[in-house]
Structure 1
Amino acid sequence: MKKSKSKMITIIISSIAVVLVALTVGGYFYVNSQLQAVNAASQKSVIVNIPKGSKISEIGDILEENNVINSSMIFTYYVKYKNETNLKAGKYKLSPSMTVEQVVNELKKGQVIAPSKLIIPEGYTLDQIADRMVNYQPTLKKEDILKTMDDKAFINELITKYPDTVTNDVLAANIKHPLEGYLYPATYEYSDKTDIKTMLSDMVQATDTNIQPYKAERTKQKMSVHKFLTMSSLVEKEATANVDRNKISSVFYNRLKVNMPLQTDPTVLYALGKHKSRTLYQDLKVDSPYNTYKNKGLPPGPISNSGQTSMKAALHPTQTDYLYFLANQKTGQVYFSKTLEEHNKLKEEHITNNQ
């Protein structure tokens, strides 16, 4: 009886041992398989965005959702076991052919292909914004972005959605780009699946929100949103870090009062569709409604977006008698004058003699 009982215990222990060994071996092979590539033969690449501040488990979820790794759980255990906690945020080009070790090494290097946030600076044109969008989201095509920006059906959607900001003024026959000046300079963040229209609509919404505080003053001055953004853009493009934007604004308004052409170089460059550090005399001859050397008054619409400082200056110009200003490109210093004679003297002193 004792021998029989002892034999049974031995069999049970042996069985448990076999099961444990089997589980251990099976577990090893399972974990090892999950650390291998999803598809070693794949030639496909995937753009993966790792947001700043993401936890290891969240990074694993993102990688698994993009089919870059087999298991978020195994990825998390692997990273913690290896103590690989210095994984960097950003956008990476990864592939299902990569092992977990290779993916982790890429995230440790931090050699991202695109920034984690879409930053639109003040004074940017639609063309420059499109470049930023492509840099932020490499799967986008610039031509598709520009096409959407000018799509009349999309513009009409925005007019319906933001009637206080986007008006029929943007659809005037001589407008170069309807949304120029309406995409607010700010920092945005999107997933890799966000479409172009959503991004652009968000920028218009930001403009709609940020110009609301100026509505009362605009109404008082009988200034439309379109003219407000147009004047703001001129101030933005002419301003340097060392200039009083309210004075720049005063020169433009003073010229308008005496029916004098605004003669601002950025409008010429906008008409040419070029980014140049210096405007040449032959550039001033460009035939365009945006050329303020050939046409009096404001251009048909904004020539870039504008920030809060320029918006305020557009509504609150300093009371001056200035009709001219010029900037020293080396120092950024701006000089104002009341007469052409004084202007030419300053030009000779600060521009011509310093070239």
Structure 2
Amino acid sequence: MTHTASFSGVLDAARQIAGAAVRTPLIESPALNAHLGGRVLIKAETLQAAGAFKFRGAWNRISRLTDAEKARGVVAYSSGNHAQAVAAAAKRMGTSAIIVMPADSPRVKVEGVIAFGGEVRSYDRWSESREAIGEEIARTRGSVLVRPFDDPFIIEGQGTCGLEILEQADAPIDQLLCGASGGGLIAGINLAFAERSPDTQTWAVEPAAYDDTRRSLEAGERMTYPAGAAPSICDALMSDRPGELTFPINRRLSGVLTVTDAEVAEAVRYAFRTLKLVVEPGGAVSLAALLAGKVAAAGRTTAIVLSGGNIDPALFAAIIEDRFTPGAPA
């Protein structure tokens, strides 16, 4: 029987990841609340194992491997956070991991994979297909392909983030903002909120030039972003289209907000200076949307997910020292 992502699966994933993944805190900043005129509940997935929410799904999938599957290892494709999460989970499970990563991935993410014992296979994201490369490696080596979002166990694992938010919040949540690439995290969150907090508005946030989820929801079918889009500092959010499994779940979204690289840089800077958190650009888009006024926050309780903290040191230094210029090298 084919496994389908569901709320009961999210509950099962919460049991599966307990003791392996971090139950990250839901925090508030009086300064941010005062600035926006409402309450903001911040889910700090920057403090998750391997530095991003991705470990939830990776562990939920890899910890279920049979002994025979573990003997053959796993393969994954990712710009960095799923890559590190899979490598970390594989190491803890005693299996090998090959990670297909873009040649322009931040060095900190590549080094993270290697530090966890993963083998990196680089590719050109503009001319090669990471899916084709990953599937070929899986066929050749008999490895288990651990997809970044189009896997029900991955979606359910990410959904534990939303489940925790609802368990940790001390008041009803009016709206939730979360970054979206392939849509695995926001899909998992939507499974939890549809069951436990159906009146909460859920918003996906994307880089302005990589708004495939927004385009897809408007068109009613999976769409890509425009050809020739300039690279974004949000390297974690550059998947070319929503997932086949995630898109139907995310139809319940209230909408999609988009943010520019300049707005994201301001959010990274604010997170460091005011929240005292290190957040990577792709992980800061929900905060960027709030700070830029893309959705009303005054008089409301808003939950946001800071989804990762694996930022290139040079880029981070340029942003916090006000030396970053969108579209130019750090």
- Say which structure is richer in strand: 2
Which TM-score band applies after superposition, normalised by the shorter structure? under 0.3
Q: What TM-score results when the alignment is normalised by the length of structure 2?
A: 0.23
Q: What TM-score results when the alignment is normalised by the length of structure 1?
A: 0.22
Q: Which structure would you say has the larger RCO, counting Cα contacts within 8 Å and 6 or more residues apart?
A: 2
- Say which structure is richer in helix: 1
